[in-house]
Structure 1
Amino acid sequence: MSTPPLEERNTQVPKHFMLARRAAAVGLAGAAVVGLQTTVAQASPRPDPRIEIVGGTPAKQGEFPFMVRLSVGCGGSLYTKDIVLTAAHCFDRSGPNTGITVTAGAVDLQDPAAIKVKSTKVLRAPGYDGNGKDWALVKLAKPITNLPTLKIADTTAYDKGRFTIAGWGHTREGGQAQRYLRKAEVPFVDDATCKKPYPELIPSEEICAGFMDTGGVDTCQQDSGGPMFRKDNANAWIQVGVVSWGKGCARPGYPGLYTEVSHFAADIKKAAATF
């Protein structure tokens, strides 16, 4: 039996049909399709970036108000009122960039009331080379003042349990991006277990989540860059991961891999302060 292809969760095409998993968030088959631009990192040794959520359900309007959609085919979260946290593999470089449209404030990407803001620049994680460090910041042309931000974990205390994933990505491998935001829950997978299907896992920089035995629920293509989050001790949402990559979507034995936000929290804060 051949080995399943690796995939990053964005919109770049194989490398053996690698699904850019985390570029668009969760969605179910049959949902309306939204056209997406497909600019992503060009030379990544990792699997396809994730694009959309498999096995999810529709999110309610206002349920996750910090979620945003990038016109490059990725998801993201509002780190500050004018900075989006997303995945490095969604872009081919850091620097000035006014070509990205950020959609926020609506579960329906075609909602006339959705907020649309242009980007001014992109900062990929310093030293990013396609192996780990899969986070990036997008500066907005103006702040989105009427939506809440999503705080990030700065310790490993929340890097366990069950997590929420959400996005406008594919609802199955080889599917299409969705018009409506979808959500799902996935359980933490420890490093030792995750290392078996993913020997290239970087335990200090990546966190795994998914149903090892059954599969069926996962981020997928165009979910890349979106947040993986849970409730903290104060019952507030906190981001623990950034959708990064995986082998296929929702396959048994192959959980999704996410950038471990707590490991990079100080770097993200420092970058945002000078961005």
Structure 2
Amino acid sequence: MARWRNLLGIAVAAVTAASMGAIASPAMAAPPDPGGGTITPQVVGGTRAAQGEFPFMVRLSMGCGGALYTTSIVLTAGHCVRGTGRNTSITATLGVVDLNSSSRVTRRSTYVYRPPGYNQGGDDWALIRLASPVTGLATLPIATSSTYDNGTFTIAGWGAASEGGGQQRYMLKATVPFVDDATCNGRSMYNGRIIPAEEICAGFTEGGVDTCQGDSGGPMFRRDASNAWIQVGIVSWGDGCARRNRPGVYTQVSYFSSAITSAAANLPS
């Protein structure tokens, strides 16, 4: 079965411990490969992001990523949170590539919204209200049509750099190509498990580059017609990490854009 790409229970406080090199993730058994053959975990082929390169990136204390949707709201994955309601237990870390940096910005959550349609198989998005606005950092607009749901995308996060590996101190980045629904849902890939209207696939047939455990909720984004970053996906799930014929599966933001916009406008403070 598919496996989410979050690590619930890992605290940012642990991430920022002085002794940190990387945080050991909980042991996870690799799921069987429906395509047959021997599974060899591959290093997710990222490189270190530069400070300020993606100022909208957010690290969440439950072991997920996110993007700064407004100065006081983070967009993340539905499976990263436990439901809708008042919640002051989440810490968001922003403004840095190095999670140990003394210049990091932190905010506590006040409220979480997860759509009522979320059922661990769809509607995989959520909003987190922060206790106070974050100034001086760019937000990440979301795609409101399918215009940008193709081409080459950028992924970034502090998740594992190899399947089953440790969480990262420094943000890593990579680029991955769009995989069309028919191919991604084909027998050699996910064999009908993709929800075409709600999900978008990205990755290489040969594997080697992908999001992984701890990247859940982070954005997949690309340049728009004005050369500005725009979010097209939310890291959701995948079979293993960077495996051959197993691209990453992302919540298709354009499909949910109206619902996200409406929920954000009505999110309690």
Which residue of 2 is the match for residue 234 of structure 1? 226
2:156 and 2:219 in contact (8 A); partners too: yes
Measure how far apart 1:34 and its partner are.
Answer: 4.1
Which residue of 2 is the match for residue 17 of structure 1? none
Give yes or no for the alignment of 1:72 onto 2:62.
yes
Which residue of 1 is the match for residue 149 of structure 2? 159
- Separation in structure 1 between the aligned mates of residue 91 and residue 152 of structure 2, nearest angstrom: 31
- Separation in structure 1 between the aligned mates of residue 108 and residue 23 of structure 2, nearest angstrom: 19
- Separation in structure 2 between the aligned mates of residue 138 and residue 239 of structure 1, nearest angstrom: 17
Greater CA radius of gyration, 1 or 2?
2
Which residue of 1 is the match for residue 194 of structure 2? 201
Match of 2:127, SS state, is: strand
Match of 2:264, SS state, is: helix
1:67 and 1:104 in contact (8 A); partners too: yes
AA partner of residue 10 (structure 1): N
- Separation in structure 1 between the aligned mates of residue 24 and residue 105 of structure 2, nearest angstrom: 18
Moved more, 95-104 or 53-62: 53-62
AA partner of residue 8 (structure 1): W
2:8 and 2:80 in contact (8 A); partners too: no
CA deviation map 1:138-189 (0-9, x unaligned):
0000000111100000000000000000000001111010010000000000
The match for 1:259 among 245, 251, 254 is 251
Give yes or no for the alignment of 1:215 onto 2:207.
yes
1:32 and 1:180 in contact (8 A); partners too: no
Measure how far apart 1:210 and its partner are.
Answer: 0.1
TM-score, normalized by length of structure 2? 0.86
Unaligned stretches of 5+ in structure 1? 14-30, 39-52
Which residue of 2 is the match for residue 271 of structure 1? 263
Structure with higher RCO (Cα < 8 A, 6+ apart): 1
- Separation in structure 1 between the aligned mates of residue 23 and residue 266 of structure 2, nearest angstrom: 34
Which residue of 1 is the match for residue 97 of structure 2? 107
**How many percent of aligned residue pairs carry the same amino acid?**
60
AA partner of residue 157 (structure 2): G
- Separation in structure 1 between the aligned mates of residue 212 and residue 159 of structure 2, nearest angstrom: 6
Off by >6 Å, runs of 4+ in structure 1: none
Measure how far apart 1:35 and its partner are.
Answer: 7.3
Moved more, 182-191 or 117-126: 117-126
Measure how far apart 1:94 and its partner are.
Answer: 1.3
1:76 and 1:225 in contact (8 A); partners too: yes
Which residue of 2 is the match for residue 61 of structure 1? 51
The match for 2:7 among 1, 6, 11 is 11
